[in-house]
Amino acid sequence: MDSLKAHALPPPEGVCPAPQGSFKTLEDAYFLGYVPRVVSLVCVKDNPLAVAWHMPLNKKPFLYAVALAKENHSHLLAQEGADFTVNFLPFEYLWDIITAGSHHGNQENKWDLFKDIKPVKALKVDALMVDQALLIYECKREVFISFPDHSLLVGKVELIHYKRGRLKVSKVKYPLHMGKNYFSKNSRTYIYKR
């Protein structure tokens, strides 16, 4: 705990800018800097894909952002103006999440490939969502920003669905993507008290 507090203070005088020897440096190797990220199942209109690069962006209005690679079919749908849903599934559905993340919706209907998950229609936006999800954001497309290989799709969260009693922090186990083919799940909850 003391070391956490120490980091909140400005560095003492005379600290070297780059600690020589203790860090290695890399360029162009984003996977080596990969930290665990909850992998969600995003449906862009009717098309599901796995997405690890997603985040809340604003509280009021509640905005949510996902990064879509340009080679994905979902990118084309988003470019055409599609709404989307962000579906948070527990770890037990990892197989279907990986299926969504390894097939393309313009070549196959992924809903026929899934083992355990089923689609339902969103209530406020024109997209499907996943019946087995514990938490779902229905997002109306708000902003679409193009970068060299990904685009940022930002949606206004119009409605949040959640399964009562299933989101307790001490219980819920989401699939954490660790980069490449590695996954993990949170095993224990720690309470931090100051």
Ligand X SMILES: Cc1cc2nc3c(=O)[nH]c(=O)nc-3n(C[C@H](O)[C@H](O)[C@H](O)COP(=O)(O)O)c2cc1C
67 vs 172 by CB, closer to ligand X = 67
51 vs 157 by CB, closer to ligand X = 51
Calpha distance 130→122 (Å, rounded): 9
Tell the smallest beta-carbon distance from residue 108 to ligand X (Å). 8
* Token pair listed for 20: 């020589």
Tell the smallest beta-carbon distance from residue 74 to ligand X (Å). 3
User: Radius of gyration over alpha carbons of the chain, in Å?
Assistant: 19
- The greatest distance separating any two alpha carbons of the chain, rounded to the nearest whole angstrom, comes to 62
49 vs 125 by CB, closer to ligand X = 49
Tell the smallest beta-carbon distance from residue 8 to ligand X (Å). 31
Using the Cα atoms of residue 133, residue 146, residue 36 and residue 168 in order, give the sign of their dihedral: negative
43 vs 134 by CB, closer to ligand X = 43
For residue 66, give the 3-state DSSP assignment.
Answer: strand
First to last CA, the chain: 9
Q: What residue is closest to ligand X based on CB?
A: 101
Tell the smallest beta-carbon distance from residue 53 to ligand X (Å). 3
Q: Which residues bind ligand X (CB under 6 A)?
A: 39, 47, 49-53, 67-69, 72-74, 98, 101-105, 177
94 vs 172 by CB, closer to ligand X = 94
Q: What is the 3-state secondary structure (H, E, C) of 55-88?
A: EEEECCCCEEEEEEECCCHHHHHHHCCCCEEEEE
Tell the smallest beta-carbon distance from residue 92 to ligand X (Å). 15
How many Cβ atoms sit within 10 Å of the Cβ of residue 86?
A: 25
* Token pair listed for 54: 């997603």
